[in-house]
Structure 1
Amino acid sequence: MAKPSTARRSQSRQGERPHPSFLTSAVNCFLTAARLGSIRAAADQLHIAPSAVSRHITKLEAALGAVLFERLPRGIRLSSAGEVFFYHARESIKQIDRARSLITDMQGLKRGQVSIATTESVATAFLPPIVAEFWQLYPDIALSLHTTRSSSAFAGVADGEFDLAIGFDMPPDVPLQILASAKLVIGAWIPKDHKLARARSIKLTDLLESKLLLPDQSIKLRSLLNPHLRRLGTIEPRLISNSTSVLQLFSALGCGVSVFTKIDAAQTTEEPSTAFLPVKELARHSQTLQLCARRAGLSPSGLALANHLTGPIRALSDF
């Protein structure tokens, strides 16, 4: 039988090469030898025989199909291929070390506690399904949820009282890092059976015939509404409240129209009882919902929750 040609023998040997990603010992020997410029010095540092280092490097060169070192009278020097492999191997080791660190953190997430300060609307209309999903992944992480005004939530995190804050329009002088944000338009929550419910957008004047349910002066949105309300003349709201949940409940019962962002209503049924319509006069205004933490960093449990919240918050953005 005729012997296979040299080219076919070469292809056969290439097909039998082990994948370099499995040659962790060889890569370690390569990186050490490249850094020290010597097979013997690498062997001394790794506490193995020089011949073992040479075998590992030879195995790696065979796997890659390239010579990685130029052998010099004194020591070794990276070849062109060796320089390319050195850069990428070093970066891969960094990524592996980071992955190992993250896995270690995840293994420590069997138990933990995270405190959150946020507004009532976020706590009732946004967080529950996301936290329920989070607990599917981390069932033994306990949460402490405190509802307050946005400014108090941010201040509480800055003072170390809470781990995370979710609120609107953090003042620029608050020393927190913003992990995620979403810009939300301001609109009206209208009962589904209202004559305006099928419109795409409305004007504030369209609401004059409706019974208005408005936030009181303690809620920041009211300061945005006041100039527009004054231009419309004397308006007697049917209800004023410092509770967004209260206003939304009355709106859902058909008692009137409330003005907020879309996050201020929990639509938990298949047939929502209210429709959200942007208000044209308020189109240039928006409120920015922000997830914030101290710059010093978070515990593994806090980081896990923050990462879980980041995507849903960004998905809310209207801009």
Structure 2
Amino acid sequence: MSIPFSRFSDYFMTVAKTGNLRKAADQLHISVSAVHRQIALAEEELDIALFERLPNGLKLTLAGEMLYSDVLRWQKEYKQTCMRFDEIQGLKRGAIELGLIAALSDGFVVDVLATLQSEFPWITLNILTDDSDVLINKIITNEIDVGLILDPVVSAQLDVMSFVEIPIGFVMCPDHPLAQHTHLTLSQTLDTRHIVPDQPLVIHDRVMAMYKKYHANPAQITLSNDIRLIQSMLKKNMGIALLSYLDVYSAVEKQELIFIPLEDKTIQPLTLALCSGSRRQLSRIAQLLIRTLTEQMEIKFNHALAGFK
């Protein structure tokens, strides 16, 4: 941004560069008399001549050269001041501290961050991937600006900016014999191998509650506490799994896996929440990130899941 501190400084710099009132007026798109008046008023107020009037134009006096040098310096410093203002606003400089659960390391969050980085290439993105409990502590202690976490505990120190409910369902390879079903009960799946999410995965407790409720004992079981490994095994048609839609939505969108929602209202869905600290002063760029993530959460989950009903 190049904004002079006064109309005079703009006129003065243009006359100094052109050495001619007419040329300066043409560049400024004003009359010659307006330029002359500004220069004359300044010289009168400063009580010193800034230009020598020559037959072929104007030439800076010693005082004029000193002023010219100072205005150049002031304009440069003004640009730096504007940059500092932008840093405060968070739109030209600065960093965003974002916390994510591992399930979001691929998919819509990466798309949002890529768009943000494209629009604001000077932004520094500090991204932490960890368990929800760890992220909640870091949000509360203001170590990160915002976090996407599962099942946040109600706290006066935690602001939930937005949230979506994530259903649980059966996940399998498109080639699996059960993949043609639009509805499945747990009893229909007991003859096939179950890939069971183990602790400390958040989905583990929900899945074990399902098995206990229906006294279900799958004939064959594979345990894993790594969602990516579970996905890989499902893609290889090594069994089926009870998972949240969040765990597999990216693979489902790519038609690499099938998701069949579990029709059991007694099993609570997971809650994916976008949270920040209640006392955290968020920059404008962090606020923009929150708005964009909220919109994409709605699109990816609420809108997509409507198609399952």
Give the structure-2-normalised TM-score. Answer: 0.63
Which ranges in structure 1 are unaligned for 5 or more consecutive residues? 1-102
Instruction: Name the counterpart of 1:254.
Output: 237
Structure-2 change in CA distance of 1:170 and 1:136 (3 Å)? same
Say whether the 8 Å CA contact 2:193–2:220 is kept in structure 1: yes
Instruction: Name the counterpart of 2:263.
Output: 280
Structure-2 change in CA distance of 1:253 and 1:171 (3 Å)? same
Instruction: Name the counterpart of 1:142.
Output: 124
1:240-262 deviation digits (Å, cap 9, x = unpaired):
22221221121112112122221
Q: Quick one: distance in 1 between partners of 2:92 and 2:295?
A: 23
Q: Quick one: distance in 1 between partners of 2:293 and 2:143?
A: 20
1:82-119 deviation digits (Å, cap 9, x = unpaired):
xxxxxxxxxxxxxxxxxxxxx96897412221122221
Instruction: Name the counterpart of 1:240.
Output: 223
- Are 1:303 and 2:287 matched, yes or no? yes
| 1:120 maps to amino acid | A
| 1:294 maps to amino acid | G
| 1:178 maps to amino acid | V
Instruction: Name the counterpart of 1:59.
Output: none
Say whether the 8 Å CA contact 1:114–1:144 is kept in structure 2: yes
Say whether the 8 Å CA contact 1:125–1:265 is kept in structure 2: no
Q: Quick one: distance in 1 between partners of 2:182 and 2:266?
A: 13
Instruction: Name the counterpart of 1:111.
Output: 93
Say whether the 8 Å CA contact 1:213–1:240 is kept in structure 2: yes
Root mean square deviation, CA, Å: 2.6
Which of 104-113 and 147-156 deviates more?
104-113
Say whether the 8 Å CA contact 1:192–1:274 is kept in structure 2: yes
Instruction: Name the counterpart of 2:34.
Output: none
Task: Identify the match of residue 248 of structure 2 among 246, 259, 265.
Answer: 265
Which ranges in structure 2 are unaligned for 5 or more consecutive residues? 1-84
- 1:1-319 paired onto structure 2 within 5 Å: 108-173=90-155, 175-230=157-212, 231-235=214-218, 238-265=221-248, 267=250, 271-281=254-264, 284-296=267-279, 297-315=281-299, 316-317=301-302, 318=305
SS in 2 for 1:183: strand
Say whether the 8 Å CA contact 2:103–2:227 is kept in structure 1: yes
Structure-2 change in CA distance of 1:173 and 1:196 (3 Å)? same
Structure-2 change in CA distance of 1:211 and 1:268 (3 Å)? closer
Structure-2 change in CA distance of 1:287 and 1:141 (3 Å)? same
Q: Quick one: distance in 1 between partners of 2:203 and 2:156?
A: 20
Q: Quick one: distance in 2 between partners of 1:287 and 1:270?
A: 20
Q: Quick one: distance in 1 between partners of 2:117 and 2:274?
A: 19
